[in-house]
A and B are shown apart, each in its own frame.
Chain A
Amino acid sequence: MTNPFRTFLLVSLAALLGGCGREAAKPASDSRPVIALVVKTLNHPFFVDMQRGAEEAARAANVELIVQAAEREVDVERQMQIIENLIQRKVGALVIAPSGSREVVPVIVKANRAGIPVLTVDTRVDAAALAGAGGQVATFIGSDNHEGGRIAGQFLAEKLGGRGRIVVLEGIPGHETGDARLRGFREGIRAHPGMVVVASQPANWERDQGYNVCQNLLQAHPDVNALFAANDLMALGALEAIAAAGRRRQVTVVGFDALDEARAAVKAGAMAGTIAQNPALMGRTGVERAVALLRGEAPPVEIGVPIELIK
């Protein structure tokens, strides 16, 4: 049984596990407070910015920060597991961007029972579900997505002189964030009867789906002259589809999130505008408030992060 191959396997497995343990084992031994930030995914620049802001705040306040996320934004069960595991690790405070505003409730209750305060960022927890389960969230830090959608709608109406045939790309159905943006957008164009939404279809927040759905909608509605996407990734995908159809001049595109790439597209004139949410500030405020909370300062129920139109 003394086979070199087997020894190699055992050693490499141990080294692999040991290696990734060492990286994390070091800060675990110190006595700084630990704050965990759990976002929806780290494949999206929005949450990467949020992580950066949180890291800056953690350095400034000298606390240990753990940032975790599921591989897929829609994986509510995986996010729940991550939070359960962090409760086991006995972190000082949890800052969560919920993947599902109702699905996150059971695990918030678990954190409450373990005496770990929960702060939410970006996406609100469903208030009725939380109250029904007897859970508590210390504060919500985020921007008003409804207001952002309204600003986008008004801007598009002004830009087109009140006459538009609009295609809307929605996020994943049932997400509080996306729903609020869409409601706001419809409210923003309501005062302009010439602004008509000819199609509103989900592209699930993703760039490639934004491309495909937009391509299909351009086929179905050749007279479209405006597009609103509930996030920039879908808007950027749509932009490519519009360019491929040779209709860049005819279709005015407005996105949401103000990603670096979208800002560049606005500057270059390919996109008309995008709504800036400042995720870095959300991450920073989340960690700062968590630190203050651990010192005994109760935060306000809600902290607004300013919204800005980039045009």
Chain B
Amino acid sequence: MKVPTFIARHGRQAGTVAVFLMLCAVLSVLTPHFLTTSNLLNVAQQTVVNAIVAVGLTYVILSGGIDLSVGSVLALAGVVLGLALEAGWPLPVAIAACVLVGALCGVLNGMLVAFGRLPPFIATLGLMSIARGAALLVTDGRPVSGFDGSFRWLATGELLGVPVPVWCMLAVYVAAHVVLHRTRFGRYVFAIGGNEEATLLSGVPVARCKVGIYALGGGLAAGASVLLTARLNSAQPIAGLNYELDAIAATVIGGTSLLGGQGSVFGTLVGALIMGVLRNGLNLLGVSSFVQQVVIGAVIIAAVLLDTFFKRSRR
């Protein structure tokens, strides 16, 4: 892609990128521990789970929906993976089962929305509770832990000096970007979010697309759970509480409109990085935990205000 085209396509994210760079600049001045290779890789690793969950959510939000169940689906898929590994299943099979469970949760969400005509907020709110309950049920509330080294490599391994989870995140983003901008499915996602009625009238199988979009969201949450489980060396039925809110925040900071039809996965990545950098920086500075929550909330609002402003000023 030529540079000018890239700017034209992503000019929308100018505000988000500006906030991100400003944040990095300010933190570099305030603490010598921020701008080091090991810390930047550290932030990248901490961003992985939120970033991957947020890609799926970006698709859902772009199509004019919302998915509140991703945090719970992440927990359910994670314990499925944990139990499968504990039962001695080979790693690829266990991961496939985990992703399948996540995608099936998404399919259920999508069917409730597309065929059951439930508002996405309600359908996914219901599944949020169902998936959490199921995760607690199958594990009896206890974490499943202690996996062997080949699985832990997904969290601890490095390729060319960069941790494996970060490579996974980059791969997911490249794939998500390509699908969104280079395939028919991607164009349908934008079209459904922009004007569902018109899309339907122009012959697009809207219902099937929606099921696919939510399945993608669930599958990606499950993918994130693989990396989280490897990282903690434990699959917890109470994992991922409130992660849906972090993912929504990353998506919205990244310039995706909650009304659907506008946004990009690149913006979401920057949004997730802003949240990661902010939390890391506040820890490095030794800021009190209570002040941190205030600052994070304020930056979310400031980032979105700034982004809205950039969009308005270009018009």
Contact = CB atoms under 8 A, between A and B. Distances in A.
A-B interaction: yes
Interface of A: 1, 3, 5-6, 9-10, 12-14, 16-18, 20-21, 23-25, 27-28, 42, 66-72, 74-77, 80-82, 84-86, 88-90, 100, 102-103, 105-106, 128-129, 132-133, 172-174, 202
24 contacts: A3-B313, A9-B305, A9-B306, A13-B306, A18-B30, A20-B291, A42-B290, A68-B289, A69-B289, A71-B293, A74-B238, A74-B241, A77-B49, A86-B283, A88-B33, A88-B280, A89-B33, A89-B284, A100-B232, A102-B146, A103-B232, A106-B156, A128-B146, A202-B141
Q: Is the interface of B mostly helix, strand, loop or mixed?
A: helix
Contacts of A10: 22, 306
B23 A17 contact: yes
B301 to A, nearest CB: 10
Interface of B: 19, 22-23, 26-27, 30-31, 33, 36, 38-39, 42, 45-46, 49, 136, 140-143, 145-146, 155-156, 228, 231-234, 236, 238-239, 241-242, 279-280, 282-291, 293, 295, 298-299, 302, 305-306, 309, 313
A102 B143 contact: yes
A103 B42 contact: no
A106 B236 contact: no
Nearest to A90: B33
Q: Is the interface of A mostly helix, strand, loop or mixed?
A: helix
A12 B236 CA distance: 40
Given A75-B241, A81-B283, A84-B46, 14 more contacts: A13-B22, A16-B302, A18-B26, A20-B287, A20-B291, A24-B287, A68-B283, A68-B289, A74-B238, A84-B42, A88-B42, A103-B236, A128-B146, A133-B233
A21 B228 contact: no
Contacts of A202: 141
Nearest to A6: B309
Contact of B238 (A1, A70, A105, A172): A172
A10 B143 CA distance: 45
Nearest to A39: B289
Nearest to A173: B141
Nearest to B50: A77
Contact of B231 (A24, A25, A27, A106): A106
A100 B38 contact: no
A16 B298 contact: yes
Contacts of B291: 20, 23
Which of A12, A20, A85 has the most chain B CB within a 10 Å cutoff? A85
Contacts of B156: 106
A125 to B, nearest CB: 12
A131 to B, nearest CB: 11
B283 A89 contact: yes
A1 B313 contact: yes
A101 to B, nearest CB: 9
Nearest to A80: B232
Contacts of A89: 31, 33, 283-284, 286
A26 B178 CA distance: 47
Contacts of B45: 84
A102 B19 contact: no
Contacts of A68: 283, 286, 289
Given A68-B283, A90-B33, A77 B232 contact: yes
